[in-house]
Structure 1
Amino acid sequence: MMNIEEFLELSAGKWFSHRTSHFVATQKSEGNKSDIIFEFLPADHPEVIKLCEQHEVNSSKASCGAKVTWNGTKEFKGEKYSGSSVLVLVPDEDKSNEGKLLHKMSGGEKSLLTGRYKLGSDEALTLTTESETIWSEERLWFASPNLRMRVSVVKGKDGFSMASFSSEIRMGGAPANAKASQAANSAK
């Protein structure tokens, strides 16, 4: 069974993502393509410590984190988009593969979010966040060592609702290892 640190380490590298999003209210779909850089951050990394401080969480309780940067294009409009976020995982005392999720999106203090993470026995990672205006749940898993899948649901307090599916292909970075192969084989 993979632990949460191994899951994030396996995610490190450069990924090509193709996402299809469905907007419930308008019944329209939109495709996006992006390059994603996923960087594993150990518990003692300065960005992990800083985010813990911003969330007023003792950084010694953090297990690890990640920095995710993306650049993409919306297929229909050709609009470019980019951004980054930092995630820190703080495990529950009795369960190391689930706990508090600290999240900061690029864009300042208002971008601080908290939520929950859980790495299930099926080796899929579920991230849930909620703010005053929006709720989201995202599930990620490896279909093979260099192919990751992601589904998400986002709901706004104003009635906004969107569901997305992404397939992500590793383009470089961290080499796939035995744990990734094992995770991919167990997913089959």
Structure 2
Amino acid sequence: MDIKEIIELCGGKWFSQRTIFQTHVESSKSEITVEFLASDHPEIIKLCQQYQIQPELALGGTKASWDNSVDWGKPKQTGYTLLVWVPQANDPTNGRILRYLSQGQASAQGQYTIGTDDALTLSIEEANLKSEERLWFASPNLRLRTSLVKLSNGASQMAFYSEIRKVS
């Protein structure tokens, strides 16, 4: 599987269940919508320019919007993450990712790798944290993810996601 196939599989609406392991265990639910943005989309161009990357080198981007209003009794949270995919010219299983979060955090860049097991691993290092997310498909309509965030003060947070595609 290559990055184009993974991006295509990620598209659509998903019901997501997340369990976070930190100092305590916390569960939540949300609806996630993933859409593909072409490399000539204004948001893709802007993020590429920020990192001095020619937009035509990017495959495009994925915009993942979330809404946890399906999680009854919890405060409503919405937002989105924009990822721009820039494959290595000679190895499409590896490349750079550019990330923008709608919640006012600074944008960041990192690396992606597709393993022999077809799992996608995203790694991003920032000044005060390091994050790694692993994503794979049990079937075209069942996506699984794990994430590990390590803070510079030694604290860490782990999460597991199971996501079911909404089909109509």
TM-score for the superposition, normalised by structure 2 = 0.92
Counterpart Cα distance in 1 of 2:70 and 2:31? 12
Spell out the pairing of 1:1-188 with structure 2 (5 A cutoff). 2-23=1-22, 26=23, 28-72=24-68, 78-108=74-104, 110-172=105-167
Deviation at 1:158, TM superposition (A): 2.1
- Aligned residue type for 1:79: P
Superposed structure 1 runs of 4+ greater than 3 Å apart: 73-77
TM-score for the superposition, normalised by structure 1 = 0.82
Deviation at 1:78, TM superposition (A): 1.8
Deviation at 1:59, TM superposition (A): 1.1
Deviation at 1:74, TM superposition (A): 9.9
Contact 2:20 2:157 in 1 (8 A): yes
Say how many residue pairs are matched: 168
- Aligned residue type for 1:13: G
Counterpart Cα distance in 2 of 1:157 and 1:83? 25
Contact 1:31 1:76 in 2 (8 A): no
- Aligned residue type for 1:157: S
Deviation at 1:107, TM superposition (A): 3.6
For structure 2, which runs of at least 5 residues remain unmatched after alignment? none
Counterpart Cα distance in 2 of 1:165 and 1:35? 15
Contact 2:65 2:81 in 1 (8 A): yes
For structure 1, which runs of at least 5 residues remain unmatched after alignment? 174-188
CA deviation string 1:129-174 (max 9, x = no partner) = 111111110011110111000011011112221111100000148x
Contact 2:31 2:70 in 1 (8 A): no
Structure 1 residues 172 and 76, CA gap change in structure 2 (3 angstroms): closer
CA deviation string 1:47-106 (max 9, x = no partner) = 222210122211121122100110116969722222111100111222112111100111
Structure 1 vs Structure 2 CA RMSD? 2.0
- Aligned residue type for 1:145: P
Q: Percent identity?
A: 45
